[in-house]
């Protein structure tokens, strides 16, 4: 780990401790998917969990109905070294009084926004253990795949002599309709799509060590950013 990287992490940790008391509670935040592991509960049951690395999220802009036509908070995350942040972004962060060099931004809708929230950190108090959440991320890219891997088609006989193993098969009639219907399931690019897994459950939140455990798997590759939100169907 380089000196500059250590400096960024130390600054983020110190700033996070300073703003913990004045944090703002929102319905979503962004974290890093660190990977999967397993834990055991008090009864000895095996629980597969996804580890989320907690990174500081800061409110960098307040959207109001009078000025923007809707109410929302712009949230900044992914802190980088100073020289990796461009000048427009530095100006935006300075206006919000955020010391970290954040490089990713997203909007989270909220009712009754307050200008006093500008520059404050997003709280995690709404995501206590046993809370149901929805997790959104970009699925792993699989490249160009056939219909068996892409759509779970059964395929044909695997025996010798068969000329139909893993091909698509018939995709339409002849004269009627005389075309291939739109959205027909065919080979193509698989993965790299925004996916949401609903009604997952928080198992543990450790803000001191900077991790969250979520029961089950979440979309995305290792070290990718995911959006964690309150469950909309619970």
Q: Please give, one letter per residue, the 3-state secondary structure of 170-195.
A: CCCCCCCCCCCCCCCCCCEEECCCEE
Contact 133, 228 (CB under 8 A): yes
Cα gap 134→208, rounded to integer Å = 23
150 and 103 part of one domain: no
pLDDT at res. 234: 84
Whether residue 203 is found in the same domain as residue 184: no
Residues 13 and 79 in one domain: yes
State how far the alpha carbon of 158 is from the alpha carbons of 75, 143, 165, in Å. Answer: 53, 24, 6
Residue 97 has pLDDT above 70, yes or no: yes
Query: What domain range is 202 assigned to?
Result: 3-141+191-230
Tokens of 27: 């319905």
Q: Calculate mean pLDDT across residues 103-128.
A: 92
80 and 153 in a single domain? The answer is: no
Q: Please give the pLDDT value at position 176.
A: 87
The pairing of strands 122-123 and 28-40 is unpaired
pLDDT tens per residue across span 134-190: 999 999 999 999 999 999 999 999 999 999 999 999 898 888 888 999 999 999 999
CA distance 140 to 134: 18
Q: How confident is the model at residue 9 (pLDDT cuts 50, 70, 90)?
A: low
CB 147 within 8 Å of CB 153: yes
- Is the distance from CB of 104 to CB of 57 less than 8 angstroms? no
User: Does 154 lie in the same domain as 100?
Assistant: no
Q: Could you give the maximum distance between any two Cα atoms of the chain, in Å?
A: 74
**CA 129 vs CA 124, 170, 227, 234: distances in Å:** 11, 50, 17, 15
pTM beyond 0.85: no
Domain identity same for 33 and 137: yes
Percent of the residues in the chain that have a pLDDT greater than 90, as a whole number: 82
């Amino acid at each position: 780990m380089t000196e500059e990287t250590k400096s960024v992490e130390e600054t983020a940790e110190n700033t996070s401790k300073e703003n913990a008391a004045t944090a703002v509670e929102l319905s979503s935040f962004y974290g890093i998917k660190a990977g999967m592991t397993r834990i055991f509960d008090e009864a000895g049951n095996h629980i597969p969990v996804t580890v989320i690395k907690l990174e500081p999220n800061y409110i960098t802009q307040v959207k109001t109905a009078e000025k923007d036509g809707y109410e929302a908070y712009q949230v900044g995350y992914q802190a980088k070294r100073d020289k990796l942040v461009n000048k427009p972004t530095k100006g935006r962060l300075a206006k919000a009084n955020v010391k970290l060099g954040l490089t990713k931004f997203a909007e989270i809708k909220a009712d009754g926004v307050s200008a006093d929230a500008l520059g404050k950190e997003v709280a995690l108090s709404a995501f206590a253990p046993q809370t149901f959440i929805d997790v959104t991320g970009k699925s792993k890219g699989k490249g160009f795949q056939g219909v068996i891997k892409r759509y779970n088609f059964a395929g044909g006989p695997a025996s010798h002599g068969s000329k139909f193993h893993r091909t698509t098969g018939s995709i339409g009639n002849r004269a009627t309709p005389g075309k291939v219907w739109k959205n027909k399931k065919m080979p193509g690019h698989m993965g790299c799509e925004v996916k949401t897994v609903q009604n997952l459950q928080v198992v543990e939140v450790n803000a001191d060590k900077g991790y969250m455990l979520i029961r089950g798997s979440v979309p995305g590759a290792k070290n990718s950013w995911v959006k964690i939100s309150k469950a909309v169907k619970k």
